[in-house]
Amino acid sequence: MTRLWSAGRLTYLALAVTALMSIFPIYWMFVVASRTSDAMGQVPPPVTPGGNLGANIARLFANTDAYFLTGLINSAIVAGTVTVSVVFFSTLAGFAFAKLRFRGRNALLLVIVATMMVPTQLGVIPLYLLMTKLNWNDRLPAVIVPALVTGFGVFMMRQYAGQAVSTELIEAARMDGCNTARIYWNVVLPALRPAAAVLGLLTFMTTWNDFLWPYAVLNDPENPTVQLSLRALSDGYYQDMSQVFTGTAIATLPLLLVFVAFGRQIIGGIMEGAVKA
Amino acid sequence: MAVQLDARPPVAPAPGTTRPSRGARLSRFDTRYSPYLYIAPFFLLFGVFGIYPLAYTFWVSLHDWDLLGAEHPFVGFDNYSQLLADPDFWHSVVNTLGIFVIATIPQLLLALWLANLLNRQLRARTTWRMAVLIPNVTSTAAVAIVFAVLFGRDFGMINWLLDHVGVDAVDWKANRLASWVAISTMVDWRWTGYNALIFLAAMQAIPRDLYESAAIDGAGRARQFWSITVPLLKPTIIFAVIISTIGGLQLFTEPRLFNSGTNAIRGGPLRESQTVTMYMFENAFAPHYNFGYGSAIAWLLFALIAVVAAVNVLLLRRLGGGARKEEPR
| pTM across the whole model | 0.89
The amino acid at residue B82 is: Q
Q: What is the pLDDT of residue B2?
A: 35
Which residues face B63 on adjacent strands? B74
Domains and CATH numbers, chain B: 80-324 (1.10.3720.10)
Q: Mean pLDDT across the stretch B197-224?
A: 89
| Neighboring chain A residues of B119 at a CB cutoff of 8 Å | 4-5
State percent of chain B over pLDDT 90.
Answer: 59
Phi and psi torsions of A6, nearest 5°: -75, 155
Residue of B5, B38, B143 with shortest CB distance to A95: B38
Q: How far apart are the first and last CA of chain B?
A: 56
Q: Give, as one character, the DSSP assignment of residue B269.
A: T
> Hey, where are the domains in chain A?
70-224
Among 2.40.160.40, 3.30.470.20, 1.20.1250.20, 1.10.3720.10, what is the CATH number of A70-224? 1.10.3720.10
Provide φ and ψ at B121, rounded to 5°: -75, 105
Residue contact B11–A177, C-beta within 8 A: yes
CB contact under 8 A, A235 and B261: yes
Reported confidence tier of residue B7, pLDDT bands at 50, 70, 90 = very low
Chain-chain contact of A115 with B51 (C-beta, under 8 angstroms): yes
Confidence of residue B175 (pLDDT cuts 50, 70, 90): very high
> Which of the pair, B16 or A207, is modelled with greater confidence?
A207
Taking only the tens place, the pLDDT of each residue in B27-69 is 788 888 889 999 999 999 999 999 899 889 999 999 999 887 7
Q: Kindly provide the residue ranges of all beta strands, DSSP E only, lying in chain A, ordered along the sequence.
A: none
Alpha carbon of B10 to those of A122, A167, A191, B256: distances in Å?
Answer: 49, 22, 21, 57
Choose among A42, A130, A205: nearest Cβ to B137.
Answer: A205
What would the mean pLDDT of B270-299 be, rounded to a whole number?
Answer: 93
| pLDDT value of residue A276 | 56
A–B interface: beta-carbon pairs under 8 A: 308
How far, in Å, are A109, A112, B68 from residue A105 at the CA level? 6, 11, 45
pLDDT of residue A227: 96
In a structure prediction context, what are the per-residue pLDDT tens digits for chain A, which is 277 residues long? 345 667 788 999 999 999 999 999 999 999 999 998 887 777 778 888 888 899 999 999 998 888 999 999 999 999 999 999 999 999 999 999 999 999 999 999 999 988 888 887 889 999 999 999 999 999 999 999 999 999 999 999 999 998 888 899 999 998 888 889 999 999 999 999 999 999 999 999 999 999 999 999 999 999 999 999 999 998 876 678 889 999 999 999 999 999 999 999 999 988 887 665 4
Helices B176-204 and B87-118: crossing angle in degrees, nearest 10, is: 40
- Give the pLDDT score at B320: 54
